[in-house]
């Protein structure tokens, strides 16, 4: 990173000399073809038109200026112009070797930026307490937690929030089903509601209620009265019971939250009414057919939306608007919501409502990451039913069949809006076809080499940061070092794009590069200088593998 920073500064100064203000265009890219070089810039092509010059000629002159700078003289082996004005840069081995030293010195901090004090809230999972967490919630949990970790590497103060409804129609149905199961009425019996929760977990709730048990969740504790005639008591116990169950699911998945926010509090606190008054005061509503309408088309929506129905109740996006005003007022200038693609229609109306409320919230607030559902295949056949849940595979089912690490890595290995099939058999396979095994095995393989060295020579890992790295000049070693150097930039781009799948792609590429290096060069050789250099390289690789897996919430085992 220090080498790249020096080269970027030299590029910025050269561009500033060509045109004031152009230094801000100092950006390096990775050449699409590895053989073209290690870094590339299109700055000459971008400046050619405003300067009225031929882009290739401008690039040639820029190359001469760059090569005359101390940074390029120290770290760059060559610069060449390609195509219409691309500038390709080849680094000296010494530049790539610097990355190894930086990784070993920075350790777990390698790739991370200094904290800057800006606050980010990520809202995810947000499951109503009506049943176990399904695979949509699992994908949300993996995405949300990884996005939180990505932004933490970029210096953000990150806050995790879980939002749910504890008093709606679904909760009333939950209470009714629990009451009926407590009275011995089962799914399919006369009197069992058509729209009901049929899983075995409802019977478990009813049994514990009758036994007057106490349940504790992260945000509540309730003791059962045992009185099935008290539907309110049944509801409160059932909500607490399922919140506790969700907590167990999340704990098994290694996910936690800073706060649980209740939809009911938006009504009891008057926030919903206050939000509607703000929008009305701003002149952004009208009445028609006894309903109150939001002029959402003023903000790019395809049609105006009802806020308050003719019966006086509010449509579902109104509390969402009130909730996001709460986020803004709590100081979260950046907010990311992880939701299923079935929520796509709410984006325009929530953003329209926030603009209409006129409270200073910028356009485009909040950000959304939408994900598709997940199919599960086991033994070559799709799995759809969970005995515990009644109609779907749960997060805990998937963890029990495979592992937390496999579930996280697999669910993060594709873009969120891409359909994904989770192959249970692949997730437990101990071979290179299993991506999480492949990456973890690379880390464990390095740890085995380092352990053998420490045992044989009482070697100290800390000493590797001072090793002479000059012997690291082979093609496999240079390729591995260049890939290590790309880790910080990959993290920044993944955070900016809400793309933790980029981390999985990078880790698989890094693991492949390491396996190739290991097969090409023996590490524990007789030459002490060469051995120390190679040990330093593989130790740095293990550190970056560990750092990347940590972002995903996946372990980096030392033995497999």
Mapped to the 3 state alphabet, what secondary structure does 54-71 carry? Answer: CHHHHHHHHHHHHHCCHH
104 close to 540: Cβ distance less than 8 angstroms:
yes
pLDDT tens by residue, 459-474? 898 999 999 999 999 9
Handedness of CA 227, 215, 247, 262 (dihedral sign): positive
Model pLDDT, residue 32: 79
Model pLDDT, residue 388: 60
Mean pLDDT value across residues 472-495: 96
pLDDT tens by residue, 390-436? 678 889 999 999 999 999 999 999 999 999 999 999 999 999 999 99
Residue spans of the domains in the chain: they are 2-91, 169-257, 432-552
CA proximity to 56, closest of 68, 66, 42: 42
**Lookup: tokens for 341:** 């693609």
Model pLDDT, residue 167: 83
Model pLDDT, residue 1: 65
332 close to 120: Cβ distance less than 8 angstroms:
yes
How many other C-beta atoms lie within 10 A of the C-beta of residue 302?
10
pLDDT tens by residue, 208-219? 999 999 999 999
Model pLDDT, residue 387: 57
CATH number, domain 432-552, options 3.90.1410.10, 1.10.730.10, 1.10.300.10, 1.10.1740.10: 1.10.730.10
Model pLDDT, residue 30: 85
Residue 386 has pLDDT above 80, yes or no: no
* Domain 2-91 classification at class level: alpha beta
pLDDT band (50, 70, 90) for residue 452: very high
pLDDT tens by residue, 258-283? 999 999 999 999 999 999 999 999 99
Which conformational region is residue 117 in: left (phi greater than 0), alpha (psi within -120 to 50 degrees), or beta?
A: left
pLDDT tens by residue, 515-526? 999 999 999 999
Model pLDDT, residue 25: 82
Average pLDDT over the chain reads 95
pLDDT band (50, 70, 90) for residue 157: very high
């Amino acid at each position: 990173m220090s080498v790249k920073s020096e080269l970027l500064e030299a590029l910025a100064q050269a561009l500033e000399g060509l045109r004031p203000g152009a230094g801000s265009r100092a950006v390096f890219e990775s050449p699409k073809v590895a053989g073209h070089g290690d870094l590339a810039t299109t700055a000459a092509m971008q400046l050619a038109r405003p300067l009225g010059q031929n882009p290739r000629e401008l690039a040639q002159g820029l190359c001469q200026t760059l090569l005359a700078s101390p940074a390029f003289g120290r770290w760059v082996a060559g610069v060449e112009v390609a195509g219409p004005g691309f500038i390709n840069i080849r680094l000296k081995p010494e530049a790539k070797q610097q990355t190894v030293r930086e990784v070993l010195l920075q350790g777990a901090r390698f790739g991370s930026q200094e904290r800057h004090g800006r606050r980010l809230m990520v809202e995810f999972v947000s499951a109503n307490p009506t049943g176990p967490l399904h695979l949509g919630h699992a994908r949300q949990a993996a995405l949300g937690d990884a996005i939180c970790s990505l932004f933490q590497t970029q210096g953000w103060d990150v806050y995790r929030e879980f939002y749910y409804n504890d008093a709606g129609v679904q909760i009333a149905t939950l209470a009714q089903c629990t009451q009926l199961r407590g009275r011995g009425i089962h799914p399919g019996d006369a009197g069992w509601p058509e729209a009901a929760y049929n899983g075995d977990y409802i019977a478990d709730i009813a049994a514990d209620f009758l036994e007057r048990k106490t349940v504790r969740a992260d945000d509540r504790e309730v003791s059962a009265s045992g009185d099935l005639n008290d539907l309110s008591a049944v509801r409160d116990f059932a909500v607490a019971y399922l919140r506790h169950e969700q907590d167990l699911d999340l704990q098994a998945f290694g996910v936690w939250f800073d706060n649980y926010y209740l939809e009911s509090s938006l009504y009891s606190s008057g926030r919903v009414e206050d939000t509607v008054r703000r929008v009305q005061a701003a002149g952004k509503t009208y009445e028609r057919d006894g309903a109150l309408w939001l002029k959402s088309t003023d903000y790019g929506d395809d049609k105006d939306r009802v806020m308050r129905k003719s019966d006086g109740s509010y449509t579902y996006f109104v509390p969402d608007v009130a909730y996001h005003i709460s986020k803004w007022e709590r100081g979260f200038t950046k907010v990311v919501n992880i939701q299923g693609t079935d929520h796509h229609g709410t984006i325009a109306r929530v953003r329209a409502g926030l603009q209409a409320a006129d409270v200073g919230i910028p356009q485009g607030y909040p950000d959304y990451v939408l994900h598709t559902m997940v199919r599960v295949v086991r033994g070559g056949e799709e799995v759809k039913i969970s005995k515990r849940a009644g109609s779907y595979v749960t997060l805990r089912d998937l963890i029990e069949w495979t592992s937390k690490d496999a579930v996280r890595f697999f669910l993060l290995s594709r873009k969120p809006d891409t359909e994904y099939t989770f192959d249970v058999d692949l997730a437990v396979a101990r071979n290179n076809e299993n991506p999480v095994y492949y990456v973890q095995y690379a880390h464990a393989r390095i740890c085995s080499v380092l352990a053998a060295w420490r045992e044989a020579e009482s070697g100290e890992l800390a000493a590797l940061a001072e090793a002479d790295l000059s012997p690291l000049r082979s093609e496999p070693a240079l390729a591995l070092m260049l890939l290590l150097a790309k880790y910080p930039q990959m993290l920044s781009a993944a955070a900016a794009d809400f793309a933790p799948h980029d981390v999985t792609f990078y880790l698989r590429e890094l693991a492949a590069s390491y396996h190739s290096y290991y097969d090409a060069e023996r590490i524990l050789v007789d030459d002490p200088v060469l051995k120390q250099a190679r040990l330093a390289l593989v130790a740095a690789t293990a550190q970056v593998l560990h750092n990347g897996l940590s972002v995903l919430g996946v372990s980096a085992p030392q033995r497999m």
